Structure formats: structure tokens, C-alpha cells
Amino acid sequence: MKFGKELSQTIEEHHPAWKEFAVDYKGLKKTLPKTQPDHPPVVSLEERSDSPHLSVVSDSEKAGDYSDFWEVFERSQQGLDSFYRHKESWAQLKHATLLTDMAKLRSSENVTTSMVSVQEMKEHLLDFRNEVELVREFLQVNKMAFSKILKKYDKRTFSNVRKSKLVSIMEDQIYLDGAAMDDYLVNINGMIQQLDALLEHKNPTAGQKRKLHDQVLTTTLVEQKAHRALEALEGLSPFFASHTPRLLPSLEREEIDIAGELLGQGKFCSVYEIQKIQLAAHETDEARLLLQQQCLEEREEGYARYAIKQINEHLKPSSKIDGAVDLAIEAKYLSCISHPNIINLVATPTGSTSYFLVLDRLSASLDHCIYKEWQPLVSKLEGKFGVGKITHKHQLAYLWQARLKAMHDVAKGMAHLHEHSIIHRDIKPQNIGMDSKGNAVIFDFGLVKELLPKEKIADNEFKATGRTGTRKYMAPEVVLYKPYGTPVDVYSFAITFWETMTMKSPFDNMSVIQLNSFVLEKEKRPTIPRAWTHELSEMLKRAWAAEPSKRPTSKEICQMIDAEIRFVERTK
């Protein structure tokens, strides 16, 4: 089926009420010549400040023969802008209302006895999720429509505008990537998960039936898709060809008792503290017995040794499959990586019907340390008592050094990945934690990627998925769908470094469009405090440079921070 008919059918079947806001693909196509012009276009070479590029301009275009196309194109953009503004306002209001209702449910004395109110709330959330997913799907299909019609425009007019125009569209209509809707989905799924826990507590039989149904529905598909993904990963990978996975103990999900404390949550998975590992009395496997014993000993001392990262139960089957495949890939990488500043994989599932990883439990995220521990203490030392007292100066110097040390740890973990041509693609305070020994550790390898030789385009530039990661930590080349390599992690590290050392949120209160203008168009970055050393300031300026080739390597960053730590030691 041709794309135009497929688009019309999709809109009619799934989004009939939004037809007036959709890209007018049919109208755009009508404005184009049915065949290519008889004569090739005039080709001119324009010089830009950064590099020369070909600009293809046909005689007919100069005459304005395609002005109708661009008028319809602009109307389509305006229609989508209007649609998104309306839906964004609706989603914000609906989300705020549901959050308020959830808060009322949690504070109600009758919440644990009123399954009806909990079920009603869940139905409201499911309706909201369904609508958000429809909005996201509508945006994606229209993004595809722009891409397809521009390809047809280039072909019919001997032009070469598609690539640059798509970049422009994704800058001006940044909502088309669906990231804002994804954020709503993560929050909705989190609330549904909380309600499911309440419902299963009151009616465990129903919960067990639902779990069994989901397992039967997804197990075969997960096995097939995960097998294909891992097979492709191993077949092309120099890293896996030279690294043998560690032999890890395996556990049944029923053998793991979680404490109920939610440590973290993402689109597909949640992380919980493990309270205990309960094995059968006749267990003989030494590795499994050791896990059980260590978990017990740490719990008796008031600390949880391990955490479990598992698929969110409320996900629809297709999302469960995607999440399970991501977990399988993450387990594959972590089983081959051993480094003190990278999260340690402890155990994997025994069977194929459970999707989880057992990891070392981290004491706190870097995000928590910044805003809940270091920032209040520094504010207290600088504000209430002043910085004149020598003891306060020593304490502030100690806290500065602690933050430097944490960043040095992260840089070492990042350098280890880069040494093996692996990029993390989502370095940020929320994906960095502190272990029981006080070391900073990089975790959440859901977006990890090996830079393969066959994907190389130029020096440290590889074919890779654009718009991957978290927007305000995302390197410009990733936002703009350009080829990229290890410098993308260096950029993310730079923003994280600034946030950690200043204890301020970068690009605070900026909308996505404002952030886009600030970082991409104006090439601005957060303000570096004047009190910082020249060496530290220069490191940061280089690390978040717009041009990837100007950024230092992760090894160079390790050396620079190490020099700064030694300088602080000497000047204490």
C-alpha cells in the first residue's frame, strides 16, 4: 500500500477527529509535477562559514512554480502546532487533576478498604494513557508524512532539501519526537503500578490470574525477539568477540522478596530494594546460597545489599516485550563489564517467564546527594554561619572535594566504556549512584550502544539513532540527528559536572523550545562560576563545545579532574 493511502487509512481509523490537523499529504502531492522535469536543475555552490555545501535550485523553483507546495506545507505545520498546543494544555490539566486525585486516595483512611475507588481511579488513568498514546501515535505518523513528502519533493524537482528541512522541522516542532508524551506515559504507568499494588493486596487471586495471562501472552515473543537481538549484537560486536560473560547465579522471581521501597522508575522498568532471598531448605548451589547469606547479613545490619530491576507489571504486552529485550541486552553488556565505577550485575532470572536483573543496591543517586545532602549543607555553612570561620572553610573544601571525587569516578567509568567503543548515551545525575564504599557508579544501561566499525562514517562519527537520551543532557549532534561517537557522553558528563559542582539544575525552567534556541542556535551553556580555577573552567568549556571534535576524551577528563583534586589537597 502506498504511503498516502496508508496515512489516510490510519487517520480515518484511529484519529478521525483530528483529520483537519494532519499533514495534508494528498494536497502536497497534488502541487508536485507527476514526473521529474525534462531538464536537470541549475546547481550552485554556496560557501558557508563552516564548510561548503551544494545548494540545488532549479529554474522552475526560482520562478516560484513550487510556491503552492510550500504554502500547503506551512499550513500543515501550523495545523500540527495548533493541535499540539491544545493537546499539551489538555494533558497538563488532566495530569494535574489525576495527581490531585491520587493524593486524596493516598491520604484517605478508607483507601485500603475501598477497592471500588481504587479501580475507578485506575480506569481514569488507563483512559488517559490510551489518549496520550493516541496523541503520540498521531504525532509520529505526521512526522513520517513530512519525511515522505519531502523525499517525493526532492525526487520530483531534482532538489536536495529533505535532510536540512527535516532538521529544521525537528528544531521548530520539537514535540514531533513524542518525548513530552513519553514523560506523561512514565508518570501514568507509575501511578497505575501503585494502584495495582493496592488491588493485589486486597485481591491476590485476581492479581495472580492477570500475571499468568500476561506471561503466557508475552513469553514466546520475548524469547524470539531477545534471541534475534542478542544474536545480531554478538554477530557484529568486536567487544563481545573478545569478552566472555561472567558466570552468574540465577534466581526465580518467587525467591526474591522486595521491601516495597521504590528506588527508581523508567518507561519500562522499576527498581526495588530486595529485602531477602528465600531459597529452598535443600538448596546446594554455593553461589545462590552466598547471595542469600549476604542479603541476610546486610539486612540484619540495617542495609539492603541488592536491588531488583524488573519490568513494570502494568505495561501492555508490546511494551513488555520491548522492555524485556532491553533488559536482556543490558544483562549481556553488564555480564561482560567489570569496573568499580559501573553497576555490578549480581544475578539473572532462571526461567524465561520473568524479566529482571539483580544488581548491587546503591545507597543514593547522585541527584539525591546533590539536592538533599550537599546543597542544604553548603547553604547552611555559607549562609547561617558565614564562611569566615576556619572550620566552615574546611568543611566547604571537603564537600567540594567530595563532589570532585564523585565526578572523577564517573569519568573513570565512562573512560572504561569508551576504551571498548561503548557509549552510555544517558549520563545524568539520575543514572549515577553512590555505592556502600562511597564510590560513584554509572547505572541504567538501557540506551547503551557499541560503536561498530561497519557504522563508521568519519573519525568518531557513527550512524546512530538521534534524539536518544535526556534532552537537557543531550549533545547537539544527537538532537540534530547527526552521526556521533564517544563525544556525546563527554557533553552529557559536562552538563552533569556543572550541575554537581554548582548544585543547581541546568537550564532550569526552560521549555524544550527555549532550550533548543539557547543550546543549538545561540550555542550558550550554563554560567561557570568565576571562583573556579582556570583549568577547571577550560575543561568544561571544551567538554560541552558545540563541535564534537573539540571536546576532550574521557581519559583526558580523568587526568584534568585528578589534577584538580591534587590541587585542592595542596591548598587545604
Between residues 263 and 492, the one the model is more confident about: 492
Task: Tell me what the mean pLDDT of segment 43-70 comes to.
Answer: 48
Least confident of 14-28, 177-191, 196-210, 425-439: 196-210
Kindly report the CA angle at 155 between 166 and 456, in degrees rounded to 5?
A: 55
Gap between the Cα atoms of 25 and 77, Å rounded: 12
User: 298 and 424: one domain?
Assistant: no
Q: Give how far Cα 48 sits from Cα of 45, 54, 350, Å.
A: 10, 10, 58
440 contacts 434 by C-beta, under 8 angstroms: yes
> What is the C-alpha separation between 63 and 373, in angstroms, rounded?
65
User: Would you state the pLDDT for residue 321?
Assistant: 82
pLDDT at residue 367, as a whole number: 96
pLDDT at site 553: 98
Residue 386 pLDDT level (bands cut at 50, 70, 90):
low
pLDDT tens by residue, 505-537: 999 988 888 898 999 999 999 999 999 999 999
Q: Using pLDDT thresholds of 50, 70 and 90, give the confidence band for residue 109.
A: low
The DSSP annotation for 84-123 comes to: HHHHHHHHHHHHHHHHHHHHHHHH-TTTTT-HHHHHHHHH
Same domain, 513 and 490: yes
Among 266, 543, 190, 194, smallest CA distance to 431 is for 266
- The pLDDT confidence band at residue 110, using thresholds 50, 70 and 90, is low
* Residue 562: closest CA among 417, 428, 416, 404: 404
Query: β-pairing, 345-349 with 250-251?
Result: parallel
Contact criterion met (CB below 8 Å) for 229 and 328: yes
Q: For 424-428, what is the mean pLDDT?
A: 97
Task: Say if residue 185 is in the same domain as residue 291.
Answer: no
Contact between 432 and 410 under an 8 Å Cβ cutoff? The reply is: yes
Shared domain check, 457 and 407: yes
pLDDT at 314 over 80: no
Grade residue 317 by pLDDT with cuts at 50, 70 and 90: confident
Looking at residue 58, its pLDDT comes to 42
- Under the banding of pLDDT at 50, 70 and 90, the label for residue 390 is low
Query: Bigger pLDDT: 225 or 86?
Result: 86
334 compared with 284, residue with greater pLDDT? 334
Look at 169-178, 198-207, 330-339, 547-556 and tell me which has the smallest mean pLDDT: 198-207
d(C-alpha 531, C-alpha 245), whole Å? 46
Q: Which residue has the higher pLDDT, 157 or 61?
A: 157
Looking at the fold, whether 305 and 370 belong to one and the same domain comes out as no
First and final C-alpha spacing in the chain? 72
Q: What is the pLDDT of residue 225?
A: 75
Cα 302 to Cα 275, 289, 297, 305, 439, distances in angstroms: 10, 20, 9, 10, 20
Q: Is the pLDDT of residue 52 over 60?
A: no
Question: Greater confidence, 371 or 350?
Answer: 371
Whether 566 has a pLDDT exceeding 50, the answer reads yes
Of 176, 202, 228, the last residue of a domain is 202
Three-state secondary-structure class, residue 183: helix
Q: What is the DSSP letter of 342?
A: B
Nine-digit cell string for 454 = 561497519
| pLDDT value for 460 | 94
Domain that holds residue 122: 3-202
What pairs with residue 53 in β-bridges? 46
Q: What is the rounded distance in angstroms from the CA atom of residue 153 to the CA atom of residue 496?
A: 42
Sign of the dihedral through C-alpha 48, 52, 58, 61: negative
Identify whether residues 24 and 151 lie together within a single domain.
yes
Residue range 190-208: mean pLDDT, rounded: 66
Residues 562 and 419 in one domain: yes
Q: How many domains does the chain have?
A: 3
CATH assignment of the domain containing 383 = 1.10.510.10
Residue-level pLDDT at 236: 82
Pairing type for strands 256-265 and 356-360 reads: unpaired
Q: Are residues 266 and 355 in the same domain?
A: yes
In the listed set 361, 376, 396, which residue is the last one of a domain according to the structure? 361
Are residue 343 and residue 410 in the same domain, yes or no? no
Give helix 67-107 / helix 179-202 axis angle, nearest 10°. Answer: 30
Q: How confident is the model at residue 208 (pLDDT cuts 50, 70, 90)?
A: low
In terms of Cα–Cα distance, which of 425, 429, 412, 569 is closest to 503?
429
198 and 213 share one domain = no
The pLDDT value recorded for residue 37 is 57
Please determine, for residue 463, whether its predicted confidence score (pLDDT) is greater than 80.
Answer: yes
Q: Number of helices and strands (H, E) in the chain?
A: 19, 15
Which element (helix H / strand E) includes 434?
strand 432-434
For the stretch 452-461, pLDDT in tens is 999 999 999 9
| Domain harbouring 268, CATH code | 3.30.200.20
Rounded distance between C-alpha atoms, residue 532 and residue 541, angstroms: 12
Q: What DSSP element (H or E) covers 360?
A: strand 356-360
Phi-psi region of 422 (alpha: psi -120 to 50; beta: other; left: phi over 0): beta
Q: Provide the pLDDT for residue 114.
A: 53
Residue 285 pLDDT class (50, 70, 90 cuts):
confident
Is there a single domain that holds both residue 519 and residue 534? yes
Helix (H) or strand (E) holding 141: helix 115-157
Tell me, what's the pLDDT at 57? Answer: 38
311-315 — which CB contacts under 8 Å span 24+ positions? Answer: 311/268, 311/269, 311/355, 311/356, 312/189, 312/193, 312/265, 312/268, 312/269, 312/270, 313/193, 313/196, 313/211, 313/214, 314/189, 314/192, 314/193, 314/196, 315/189, 315/268
483 secondary structure, DSSP code: -
Rounded Cα gap, residues 426 and 443, in angstroms: 10
pTM, entire model: 0.69
Which of 29-43, 219-233, 398-412 has maximum average pLDDT?
398-412
Q: Are residues 276 and 192 in the same domain?
A: no
What's the chain's average pLDDT?
A: 84
One-letter amino acid at 517 equals S
For the segment 64-82, the average pLDDT, to the nearest whole number, is 86
Distances (CA, A) of 111 to 118, 127, 207, 474, 559: 7, 21, 18, 41, 55
Q: Is the pLDDT of residue 539 over 90?
A: yes
In sequence order, what are the residues at sequence separation of 6 or more whose Cβ sits closer than 8 angstroms to the Cβ of residue 128? 94, 95, 98, 188
Reported as type and span, the H/E element at residue 264 is: strand 256-265
Of 304, 339, 361, the position where a domain reaches its end is 361
Looking at residue 115, its pLDDT comes to 56
